[in-house]
Each structure stands twice: as structure tokens, then as C-alpha cells.
């Protein structure tokens, strides 16, 4: 069997509401969702969600190869992009191809990927994450009631711009989850998306911890700031979670070895092999891992096979347009199915039809870091 080609497709995630974080908001609720379909000479294809950046360059590393040699092919893709660097969006392209190859490998074995990787339990614990910074209080409560209706009893809110607003919203969601039953102390996390200085982080979280029990604070400072994360960890009771924007073991290693991270995260877009390697590194330091992503299907499968999985982010209760997923959400967890591979089915006609709805990347305001004047350095939080 040989890899013969690929198709780069782009669909949309239609949230039906504004979504975003401290760095920006998709006001229309439409978000681009790129994916690749890897083709073989035997007609078996694999799907991976992720970037298209330099797709032709990355694909050249695996063209003509046997797709079953996934981990070796992953390293070939890294080597192909080594000189210019594989960080950022290119790492997402490698991750998309990697996930697609795992999909093929599991299909050829006639097993779901979670079983092929050595998983025992198809149930993967999840927490609710609504990308909710633009919602008012009533909208926020209604959203998390919907998550609670699927049995979720832990939630991560976006925030970091106003401590009083964060306290009010975290308290509101806590009460929603308590009313739903099952726990009098639901898990609460706050994600500020690298929006603080070290001083701000300690003061902001310390203020929240006067009345709230936070499970973790996520990305409190810039992703590469090892000493900053360690400073925050020493100054607050909550665990420090980070890693979703780190691309490669070489970026995770300094944080882990310095004891600067308590919950090691990695993004779905970086691929299955990357997750498995990060999980092994974290496990060697007695740290848990937690996958991140809008549709983290590959990492949900892989999470069943690592000993240190803690919980996986659940954002979308509806899949992207034209994508059918082979798992369900119930009793606070992803419940994986028995279909070979990832269990993804594509409606390429629906994906093509979604093309006219794609937002213009140049006008898309989400995840664009503001100028220094836009950092919202509130006087009460210091600088």
C-alpha cells in the first residue's frame, strides 16, 4: 500500500453565537475548519483536522510511503520542515496529516483507533468549554445548562479582562452545575489566553480564590515564559495549565522540567503522535495531560491509551458542517464508537457548499493579540 495524494478541504464551524477569548471574538460565530484527506492506492482514505499551510511541502515527505508507518512518517515530516522551522501553522499541517495516517492505519486493522492504540475504556471524561467571553450572563447560564444536560460537571470559562466579571460568571456557572446535580463542588477553570503579566496573574487569581475554588488557571502568561508560569504556580492555589500552543517536545520540556506546569495540555491540531509523545514526557514527571480543541477527535481516541489522561475539552456539541463523528456525548464524557479508524464521515458536497459562508481571514478578529494599549491593565491588578 502506498500514499498517492491528498485533498485539502475547508468547512466551517457554525456556533450560532459569538465565540472568542480575551484576544478577540468571532462576532458572527463562523470559524474556518481546515482538514486533509489522505489517499492511497488501495482506495482507503484518512481524515485529519488541521492546517493547510505548506501542505505540498509536508506531503512530499510521505508521498509514496506505506501509511502504516505512522510514527516514522511523522518524523519524516518534521525533518522535511526542519530548516525553516516546523512551529506554528506548519506544525498543524503535520498534525493533520499525522491524524489522517492514524485513521488509515486503524481502518486497515479493522479497529477503532482507540482500540488499536491499546485503549480499554471507550469513555473519555470531558469538561465544558464554551469560548464564551462575549456572552451576557443569561446567555452564559443557558449555554452551560445545555452542557450540564449532557452530564458535564466541570467547566472552563474565558476571561481575564475584569476580575469582578470573572468572579460573577464563574459563580453563575458553578451554581448552574450544582443545580444540575451530581456534585456540590463542580470543577471550575479560567482560561485567559496568555493575556496577563506575572503580577496580574497572581493578583487576579488570588482575588478569585477568596470565594472560589479554581481547578486550574490556563495560559496565565505567555506560552514560553517558564519562570513566569513557575511564579504564578507559587503564588496561587489553583493548578497552572498550559501547552496547547507549544509545538514540539522541545517547547514542552523547559516548562515540565522546571516544574512550571501542573496540567500539561496539547492541541488536537498538532496530531496524535505529538500527543502521545507529550503524554509520555509528562508521565515521566508524574504530570497529567489534558487535550484541547474544538473537535479533538484524534486526541480523544489517543487519550484512552495513556495512563495520565485527566480530562478532555469539549467545545462543540454540533460538529463542523459536513462532518459526522462516530462518538456520542453522555454522562459527562465522550463515548467512542466501534467504527474502524476515527469514525469520521465526510459529506464533501456539504463542505463545498459551506465555502460561500467562509469568513475572510483578514477581517477575522479572533486570537489577534491587541497592542500594548489594549492589554486592559486594570489599576487593581498592577502591571
**What pLDDT, in 10s, does the model give residues 147-194?**
999 999 999 999 999 999 999 999 999 999 999 987 789 999 999 999
Q: Distance between CA 115 and CA 302 in Å, rounded?
A: 9
First vs last C-alpha separation in the chain: 58
CA 174 to CA 188: how far, in whole Å?
7
How many other β-carbons are positioned within 10 Å of the β-carbon of residue 312?
23
Residue 323: C-alpha distances to residues 44, 45, 345, 351 (Å)? 18, 15, 6, 8
Q: Where are the domains of the chain?
A: 3-111, 115-347
| CATH number at 3-111 | 3.30.390.10
Closest among 49, 121, 131 to 317, alpha carbons compared: 131
The CATH number corresponding to 115-347 among 3.30.200.20, 3.20.20.120, 3.30.360.10, 1.10.620.20 equals 3.20.20.120
Determine the pLDDT at residue 381.
33
> Would you state the cell numbers that stand for residue 63, as one nine-digit string?
508521498
Strand 289-292 versus strand 312-314 pairing type: unpaired
At residue 294, the pLDDT reads 95
Segments in the chain below pLDDT 70? 359-383
The predicted structure's pLDDT at residue 369: 52
Contact (CB, 8 A) for 240 and 217:
yes
What pLDDT does residue 191 have? 98
Residue with cell string 452530564: 151
Confirm whether pTM is higher than 0.75.
yes
Q: What is the pLDDT of residue 356?
A: 75
Residues paired with residue 323 on neighbouring β-strands, in sequence order:
346
Q: Answer yes or no: are the C-beta atoms of 312 and 126 closer than 8 Å.
A: yes
49-60: per-residue pLDDT in tens?
999 999 999 999
Q: How far, in Å, CA of 285 to CA of 206, rounded?
A: 27
Quote the pLDDT of residue 383: 37
The H or E element containing residue 123 is strand 123-129
Q: What is the pLDDT of residue 357?
A: 73
Amino acid at each position: 500500500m502506498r500514499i498517492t495524494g491528498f485533498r485539502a478541504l475547508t468547512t466551517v464551524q457554525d456556533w450560532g453565537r459569538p465565540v472568542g477569548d480575551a484576544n478577540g471574538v468571532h462576532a458572527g460565530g463562523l470559524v474556518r475548519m481546515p482538514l486533509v484527506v489522505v489517499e492511497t492506492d488501495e482506495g482507503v482514505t484518512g481524515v485529519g483536522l488541521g492546517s493547510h499551510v505548506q501542505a505540498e511541502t509536508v506531503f512530499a515527505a510521505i508521498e509514496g510511503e506505506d501509511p502504516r508507518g505512522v510514527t516514522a512518517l511523522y518524523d519524516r515530516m518534521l525533518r522535511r520542515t526542519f530548516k525553516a522551522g516546523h512551529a506554528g501553522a506548519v506544525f498543524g499541517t503535520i498534525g493533520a496529516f499525522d491524524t489522517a495516517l492514524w485513521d488509515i492505519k486503524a481502518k486497515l486493522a479493522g479497529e477503532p483507533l482507540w482500540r488499536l492504540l491499546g485503549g480499554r475504556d471507550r469513555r473519555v471524561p470531558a469538561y465544558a468549554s464554551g469560548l464564551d467571553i462575549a456572552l451576557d450572563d443569561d446567555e452564559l447560564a443557558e449555554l452551560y445548562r445545555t452542557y450540564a444536560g449532557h452530564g458535564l460537571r466541570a467547566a472552563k470559562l474565558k476571561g481575564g479582562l475584569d476580575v469582578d466579571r470573572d468572579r460573577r460568571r464563574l459563580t453563575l456557572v458553578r451554581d448552574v452545575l450544582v443545580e444540575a446535580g451530581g456534585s456540590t463542588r463542580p470543577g471550575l477553570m479560567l482560561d485567559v489566553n496568555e493575556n496577563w503579566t506575572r503580577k496580574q496573574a497572581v493578583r487576579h487569581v488570588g482575588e478569585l480564590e477568596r470565594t472560589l475554588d479554581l481547578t486550574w488557571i490556563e495560559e496565565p502568561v505567555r506560552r514560553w515564559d517558564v519562570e513566569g508560569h513557575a511564579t504564578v504556580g507559587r503564588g496561587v492555589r489553583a493548578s497552572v495549565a498550559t501547552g496547547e500552543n507549544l509545538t514540539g517536545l522541545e517547547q514542552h520540556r523547559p516548562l515540565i522540567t522546571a516544574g512550571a506546569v501542573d496540567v500539561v495540555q496539547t492541541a488536537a491540531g498538532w496530531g496524535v503522535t505529538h500527543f502521545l509523545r507529550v503524554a509520555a514526557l509528562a508521565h515521566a514527571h508524574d504530570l497529567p495531560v489534558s487535550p484541547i480543541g474544538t473537535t479533538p477527535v484524534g486526541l480523544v481516541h489517543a487519550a484512552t491509551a495513556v495512563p495520565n489522561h485527566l480530562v478532555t475539552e469539549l467545545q462543540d456539541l454540533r460538529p463542523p458542517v459536513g462532518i459526522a463523528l462516530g462518538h456520542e456525548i453522555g454522562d459527562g464524557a465522550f463515548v467512542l464508537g466501534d467504527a474502524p479508524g476515527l469514525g469520521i464521515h465526510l459529506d464533501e458536497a456539504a463542505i463545498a457548499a459551506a465555502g460561500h459562508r467562509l469568513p475572510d481571514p483578514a477581517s477575522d478578529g479572533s486570537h489577534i493579540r491587541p497592542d500594548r494599549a489594549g492589554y486592559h491593565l486594570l489599576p487593581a491588578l498592577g502591571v
